[in-house]
Amino acid sequence: MGAAKTQSSTSPPERRSSKKVVPGPRDPEALQPFEGEALSSWITTLAEDRDIAVKQLLREFHLHKHGALSMGETRLDPPVARRISRLTGVDEQALHAMTLARYAGNALPHLPLSPEANAKDAGQWHSSAWLCDRRIRWCPRCLRENDGRWPLRWLLPWTFACLKHSVYLESECQRCQSVVTFGRLNSVRPQHCDAQTADERFRRYGYDETCDFPLAMSHPLRVRDDTVLALQTRINEWLDGVPTVDDRQLVSLTAVLIMLLSPSMLRRGDPILLFAIRSLRAPRPHQKRELWTDPLRVAAAACAADRILERSESAAQVARQIADLRIVDYRVVPWELDVMDWAYGPALRPNPYLEELVKRHVITVGDFRYH
């Protein structure tokens, strides 16, 4: 993401080079993206493979203007996609599928239509959506197997488990316990923890030193409950655009429960999920956007949603169950939905459960009232 500000005033003047830097369509050595790879990851890999700067490749692709890679990752302009396709031999549709635009129909309904044309809108979306909290989640085993390349789906909080390796995605550095972000350099394919550690024991060389722990070296938590993997599969089907009615209900309720989760909802299932929302390390409710960045919490919400839906016939019954379970844990504390949750919360609208919960005052929406 965000190799955006590549054109700084300090960069050397652009030189026209006649040397071709990208392979032509019939080049047998053309580096193909792997299934599901993020555009930014592939472009970075391509640049490394050709031993050229990413910046140079972006210019070749006409992706260097208007926020470059971060916007390119959001949505590709058709002429740009055509050009990249012509230069690399990768199918145009496949290129579009490597951008977040593929989720505009479900997980990202507010994705700007044309990020290049309206950078302000795109910037606002980037800074306010849960998606771009700059935090990352990853499967260390996949990173090891794919030479550090990144699937697009890891950018979405909806991805909480790796189906290939049956592990929960990581979101914290195992050396310094910081959340890991895309980094100060806005690396499009982060490989190391870039936290500046506050703990002197980890500072071997100086105060500005970053932790630098290799993400691929983490030991991920094994998923011990097959239900979690089954739920990730169903959510993936929704993301791929082939959900059943039940999958849609599951996603809608999960989106709500990520906010409203309480320990009583997790009496059965993988104990690590109960621990995740009870422990002191769990994000506090006031850190609202952070709730979405914790893969264990999202997994816990999906499990709770699945169980509640098993026992309920209607949205009203679902809301009553949630209200009852929350009273057990928290007495009566309504969840105040802020404007950002309302506008950008994934799959929140239209969401039948949300309406019922507002009616029951489990959720309040500022001055907003249902009639």
Q: Which residues bind Zn ion (CB under 5 A)?
A: 139, 141-142, 162, 164-165, 173, 175-176, 193, 195, 211, 213
What are 162's strand-pairing partners? 167
What would the DSSP string read from start to end of 49-82?
Answer: HHT--HHHHHHHTT--STTHHHHHHH---HHHHH
- For residue 279, the 8-state DSSP code is S
Q: Are 229 and 166 in contact (CB under 8 A)?
A: yes
Structure tokens at 242: 């082939």
Please state the closest distance from residue 169 (CB atom) to Zn ion, in A. 8
Tell me the closest approach of the beta carbon of residue 172 to Zn ion, in angstroms.
8
**Residue 173 vs 261, nearer CB to Zn ion:** 173
Q: Smallest distance from the beta carbon of 353 to Zn ion, in angstroms?
A: 31
Nearer to Zn ion by Cβ, of 3 and 211: the residue is 211
Q: How far is the CB of 179 from Zn ion (least distance, A)?
A: 9
Q: How far is the CB of 37 from Zn ion (least distance, A)?
A: 14
**With respect to Zn ion, which residue has the nearer C-beta, 175 or 359?**
175
Q: Which residue has the tokens 């609208």?
A: 349
Q: Which helix (H) or strand (E) holds 320?
A: helix 315-330
Q: With respect to Zn ion, which residue has the nearer C-beta, 116 or 170?
A: 170
Q: Where are the beta strands (DSSP E) in the chain?
A: 161-162, 167-168, 335-336, 363-364
SS3 6: coil
C-alpha 299: how far from chain center? 14
Give how far Cα 238 sits from Cα of 107, 138, 192, 248, Å: 9, 20, 31, 7
C-beta of 153 vs 297, nearer to Zn ion: 153
Cα 236 from Cα 241, distance rounded (Å): 9
Residue placing its CB nearer to Zn ion in the complex, 7 or 196: 196
Please, which residue, 101 or 193, has the CB nearer to Zn ion?
193
Give the integer Cα–Cα distance in Å for 367 and 261: 23
Q: How far is the CB of 255 from Zn ion (least distance, A)?
A: 24
